[in-house]
Every structure is written in C-alpha cells, then in structure tokens.
Structure 1
Amino acid sequence: MTSGLLLIDKAQGWTSHDVVARTRRLAGTRKVGHAGTLDPMATGLLVLGVNSSTRLLTYVVGLDKEYLATIRLGQSTTTDDAEGEELTHASAGQVAAIAPAAVASGIEDLTGDISQQPSAVSAIKIDGQRAYARVRAGEDVQLPSRPVTVSVFELLASTAGDGFLDLEVRVECASGTYIRALARDLGVALGVGGHLTSLRRTRIGPFRIENAATLERVDVDANLISPTDAATRLLPRLDLSAEQAIDLGHGKRITVEKDVTRIGPVAAIAPDGTLIGLVEYRGNQAKSLLNFPPDEPAAATEPKQAS
C-alpha cells in the first residue's frame, strides 16, 4: 500500500471533493484528503494526501500560496466572482475614466498586511455551518474582517472592453486570503465595482503547478511524492542512526544534539531514507509526535511533470 502526496491540476467545474472522490477510486483507497479548497470556478493546484501521508496535510494547509487571476472592473456580483448575480454596473464612461495610476494605487493599498472581509459565500464556518450554505438558505451573512498578508499583488496586463476593464494579476499571499475579496475591494476603491472572472492557483508553499497532473492523465503511483520527500520539503530534517530509528519507532525518546533554534515538528529520517515520523525537540532529546507506518517505498522521488 503506497503513501505520499499527490499534486493535481484541478479543472474548472470540479469541486475539491470531486477530486478527492475520483482519486480514491484511482488509488484504490478511502484514505485520501486534500489541503486547501478551490472553488469550482477556479483551476490549479490541489495537494492531496494518500494513505498515511494524509497526516502531512496539516503542515500544507497554512502555507503561502500563489495565484494568477483576472479581475473585471466595472461590475460587482453577489459572490464577488463570475458565478454570482450582478449587483452594480458602472457606466462605460466611469470605467473609461479609470487612470492607470489609480489602479496602481489601489493595488498598492491592498498589498502587505491588510484587513480583509471574506466573501459571504466562503467556506468559513459560522456556528458549525459553512457561510455559503447560510447564504444559499437565504440568510444575510456578514463575516467580520480579519488580518491577512498579501506579499505580492502584481498587475501583469490589462484589457479594456465595452464597459469593463480586465486586469490580469499575480498574487502571493498568506493562507486565509481571498482573491475574490481583493477583486471586490479594488473595485470599491476605484468606485466602479469589481469581481473575479478567473482564478488559477499555481503554488502552495514548495509545491508548484508545473509538477501537477490532471485527473484525466494522472498515474497515482508514478506521481506520488514519497512521505520522506514531502516531509523534508515541509519541515526541518533530522537524520537518525539505525538505533535511534528503532527507538523512535517504539515511541521512545532519543538523545540529540541540543538546538534551541529548532521549534516545532522535525522530520525524522532513518538511514535507509524512510520517514520514521515527526518529532519535537525537548532540550537535548527528541520526542515522537507522530509515527509513520512503513507502508510506502523508502526512495524519495520527484513527481512526473504533467503533459
């Protein structure tokens, strides 16, 4: 039974749950999960965990992300994206009057550490129920603003149309940032309204879309990132002796060189390259946080590039 992380290039129209369900059938196991939901309208990178490597998804969820998106200025919608109903529509004259300097200033104001109100149709839970479910049930949902970090908000190109202005942008941001909300807020700042017409996630932490495969073409076994490779991309590495690997596998603490700079989980690797588990440092000892069963090949491999 193999284990690892799988990079999938999600197609438009698929839900993240659809991708998980299809991968379960392809992999022949129920133990498949994902890190970081993508809306059906969005495309791009989903990181899946298969079998014991679902335990690593905890360390993927909070990583920074990169997106390519199209923001349409001149129209706002109920969902802040193209799937919602129109709320406002600026005149062609208002849109034509938008100065490039104003766009640049609006983008700059939405870069860095900012306060952002998530879209009402987000997956955020309110009293145990998703916000989007409450909206669909007819409730008026107003989510509180929260701090987010947008490290890069870059204008790549712009295209003027009949009563609208499309902005092609690249965004790098911390987990929890909503690109739809950036589109909405930029439109508000420019006085013409705005919404998202396309969204593609291109990176999650160290994992990039270039190494992802589509569901139609994926070979699960060939494209799995081994637990060792995945864990050492996500976390610091501790190389064990054979004796230490046995002790950790039995739940014992091991003596290590004291390193006060190491905070949080560390990937503990046996001499043969197997991921024994995750440990945390306690002075000059390492304590097991999570052990991994030997249900995967030891060799760490780079996933095949999608064609």
Structure 2
Amino acid sequence: MSDSNTTEFTNPSTFILLGIPGLEAAHVWISIPFCTMYIIAILGNFTILLVVKIEPSLHGPMYYFLCMLAVADLVLSTSTMPKMLSIFWFNFREIGFSACLTQMYFIHCASAMESGIFTAMALDRYVAICHPLRYSTILTNSIVAKISVTMVLRGGMLALPYPILARQWPYCKTNIIPQPYCVHIAVVNLACADTRVSSYYGLFVLFCVLGLDVIFIAVSYIQILRAIFSLPTKDTRLKTFQTCSSHLCAILAFYIPNLFFSLLHRFGQNVPLHFHVLITNVYLLMPPVLNPIIYGVRTKQIRDRLLRLFTHEGA
C-alpha cells in the first residue's frame, strides 16, 4: 500500500472505495441488479417530470411536490451509482478527496430534501382532505413556491456541515473506505481525532430534523384519518383514503430503510461487513426506484396520462 495508508495527513489526495468488501469476485454479477435499478430510477423519474409537464390537469401543488421528489431522487441516485458501477465494472476505486466530499454533500442534501418534500406533501394531503373548500386559497402557487424553496434551502444547509466537518479532521492509518461511495459516517471513521462533533451533528439531523418531519407527518395523518372516518359512507372513506395511499407507501419506502440504515451504522458492529454495505446500497437506491413506480401505478391521473401517451404513440 502507499505511504498514505501509514502516515498522518490532513487532506488525503484520494480515498480508495472498496465496493463491497468480501464480495469483490462477484462485483460484476452484483452490478446487474444495481444497474437495472439505476436505469429504472432514471427512466421512472424523468417520466414523472415529463408527464407532469405535458398534462395541464397535473399542474397543481401535489404534482409540483412530486416533481421536486423526482429531482431529489435523480440527484440521490446519480451522485452514487455511476461511481459504484465504475468500481464494479472497471475496478476504478480511487476518488479524489474533494470529489468524495462533494459526493457526500449531494447524498445528504438529497436525503434531507426528500424528507422535507414528504413533509410538504403531507401538508398538501391534509389541506386537500381536511379543508377541501379552501385548498386553492391556502396552497396558492406563491405558497407552494415558498415551501419548495424552503425545502431546497433546508436540505442544502443541513448537508453543508458534513463536508466542512469532514475536511477539518486529520486522517491517518488508512484512506480506504469499505463501501462504494462516500457518506459522512464512513469518512469520519477514518479520522484520527475526536470526531464527536460530527457524530453529534449526524444524530441531530437524524432525530431533531428527520424526527420532526416524521412527527409532522404523523400529526397530519392523524387529522386526515379523523376526517376520513367522519365521512358518511364506506365507499367515500375508501376513495378519500386512496388519495393518500401513494404518499403513505412512498413515506414507508423512505423512512423505514433510513432508520434501519442509521441504526445499523451505529449499533451493527457484529453485522458482517458485506451485508452492511449491501443494505446501505439498497437503502440509497430503493426510494428513487420505488417512488415513480408507486406514484405511476397508484395515482390515477398519472396512470391515465401515461396510457394516453403510449396509446397515441402506438397508434
């Protein structure tokens, strides 16, 4: 190994990404499902953006937030998968220090943005079901734009301390990251200094920011369910609940793996490393893959517009 693995350095010139340690011989085979998922994520999210753009009836708050979610999904998947596939296919393991921190920033920024967008979508569903007559006056284009800008700025600002903190630590012993991309915890673990500030900030984002988002979403859905159960007929209740089903499925696909991934990083010392890395990779790719499928299949307006689009093209 190079001297960088045995001597202390403040800013290493490069890190070495191992891909999935212990499964190097199977990297090519492992790349097949990950490449497939990446293609589905790219095509699915661009399809959502295209359908919303060309269909005037979808020009509303819910679908504007959905477009923001699609953009966040594209950023999240594209910030990790090209480098990951280059490791699996060509064994290109080196990544520059600045490139590593940039990748770290976009991963955490997109994740924070997704959480904020899900919160905004919960607000949209709350207003639509609990205050339907005031929906257009509450969620005006101006309000939606302000909420959108706030979510983008919040995600960008929350992610900014991650690379700043990581850059200030001295690194020693090794520049090897035992996974195929740079995230805050993996990089900071290589530092030979007291990195409790980084750990505390990560916990702050997890519990105080994402936790508050979950609480807001939960409170919104408590109010939504109360409004639904107060409706007079079972068919009406079911039809109203179906307007929230896509959002609920997407929330579960995002927050449950997010929680599991965070707990695994902090308390899963006895978990085999290759399993740990596989799980974190799936965590990053699943929301970008599932979100367009969930909304495309379960949202009638999008499904109908897609059918018309393909029917006309095939005619």
* TM-score, shorter chain, exceeding 0.5: no
Larger relative contact order (CA 8 Å, sep ≥ 6): 2
Higher strand share: 1
Higher helix share: 2
Give the structure-2-normalised TM-score.
0.22
